[in-house]
Structure 1
């Protein structure tokens, strides 16, 4: 409230000073010109004429001055209201946000001028992003706890069973425990990758490689895993030398293949390498059913899972595609999804 009073007072005083100065300058110039004219050409004026102001002149000047000051104060009050009211709204909303109410927004009762209106809009945009960031942080914590709880519960249960003599520590049980540990390690690495990408700290170990030869070996290694789910994986393309972090790129491709194994119908997965200008693109295509149109905007967001996956209670952390996008952006590119004639295709574009 103090800011509003100070600004209004300063504007009023400034307008009053302008009004008084204008009247005084006009008065001085007017009578100065008459004085010079009387001195230079006295024959133009009647005998006994004086350029000095009379009582009526002073009274008129006083009335005009008062009117000017009043008009200036009125204009100053209107200007102050248009400027200060939105600022007061921003200040009130800022105090509410500081007290923990992140849903607070600045709303002015008067129509704000251009710059002040922009201030209101920018403040509300900032407040909205702050609220979303806080909500995402809470959601992240809940999702991370949920994803960690399942493998940890399994590990604890199996180890407790071994300790109590319920289970025998044979090769099958050991492999099952190692599978859970591998899942945990991958989840932690995915979280680390996405978190580093969010703060712009995802570092790459770039090297010149023949990406086609590298992916040939990777496809051979992945073949048994995809065949267990009724899929097959083929690589298409030609030798191409690029500068990439092959370890990160394999991580992104593993996330795409894992996504296909979870959500696509058993089919032939086509992995294709294409040279694009100074960079390259990697395409992974499956035979659907694809991603609904209304879910594609958030496809690469963290912890995003489709309605079909949630309804079917399918496993998956919701991190895979976010990891793909983070790695693609770290390589100076982006990840995309498109569906053409029933064929779903994920594309990783890199600067290479």
Structure 2
């Protein structure tokens, strides 16, 4: 997609207009990155506030921009935002909508900001939210396992090595092994959150800006623990995604192990449990069966998560600094 920026008579920038290139479908990432829309608005609001505080924008300009951004945020929330598939990504869609609402003033949001540090910021904001959501669900499963383990603290069962009966244990003791695996997963996610909780905004395309911006102010507005130490690293770093995907992969391995155990225990050969009707399915031919579908799918989906990690690492392995389109 080509970008054409037209100049107004008398100076100043007009709203950008876009034309399709033959490769526009290949370049489009909107189906993937539109989930970043709320985070992009949050980043722009913080950026506008900082620009006003350092005197690059007037109070009136900042107020009008904030009003327009809040309007777009509301449209996104209600599903009334006019998404355009011919605009390649979420950033372009929001930029075009902003200038539709505010005219040339809308372009001033991008003062002292590049799409490179903008998308890096959006991704970190998204990741912080995603980590918190996964941690919450992991904790729910931990608590469920803990309740079940307490209920069966004295229920005997055989312990296994090599899938052969070895020593007697209790059901509670066995379930707590899964609990502690998940506890480590939860802690790893906290560690990943801490390393991702650094703002890249202000790094620009790769070498910052000559304007007197204050990245620390923006970082504080967005709740980051700190700001980047190196502008090239800020726009090229995707360690946080790789680390998150590794943590998810290991979590998925643990869930797969739990699911596999449920499948085994639910078999007639073992018979330790019987799946609840809402967590399994019957057979169209054999109505006496109750298949542990949820556990089987939990086991199977782990491969997708691991595959995503390998795909990301394969992409990152040969990228030069700083920003690249396939980053």
Could you tell me the TM-score, scaled by structure 1's length?
0.28
Q: Which of the pair has more CA radius of gyration?
A: 1
